[in-house]
Amino acid sequence: MIKSLDPRVNRAAIEEENSIEPLKDLDQWETYEVFHQKRRGDQHMHVGIVHAPNAEMALIFGKEQFGRRGLSVNIWVVKTRDVFTTDYEDSDIFETVPEKQYREAGGYKVMDKINKFKKGL
């Protein structure tokens, strides 16, 4: 059990060992997720997947599969098995009860002021 100065953590009785099983070794090269950046400062966007024996090789493959048309300034690769994911059967966690105007930008009174200002122009 994980020991903590925080009694709530101790009450939770968390196993030392992470219960998430890493994937078993594959009989072929593993996959890397490739992200590219169009311009310095932009967010990196996921563009695809390559097979590679290590990160360096994943970079040289990622560059040529997804960056050979000159649309990138930078590439990231991340082992697919290092990506944690939600289950599709849990997709309903993204659903939300719509009656929460206080959480929507539209719920703010400021919109009235903006509309009023626009009309005044």
Total residues at interface with another protein (CB under 8 A): 14
Choose one: 7-15, 53-61, 75-83, 112-120; the region binding another protein (CB under 8 A): 53-61
Q: What is the DSSP secondary-structure string of 70-117?
A: S--SEEEEEEGGG-----GGGGGGG---S--GGGSGGGSTHHHHHHHH
CB of 51 to another protein, least distance (A): 6
Question: Of 32-51, which residues contact another protein (CB under 8 A)?
Answer: 50-51
Eight-class DSSP state of 7: H
Residue 77 is a binding residue for another protein (CB under 8 A): no
Residue 52 is a binding residue for another protein (CB under 8 A): yes
Eight-class DSSP state of 24: P
Instruction: Name the site residues for another protein (rule: CB under 8 A).
Output: 29, 50-54, 56-57, 60-61, 63-65, 68
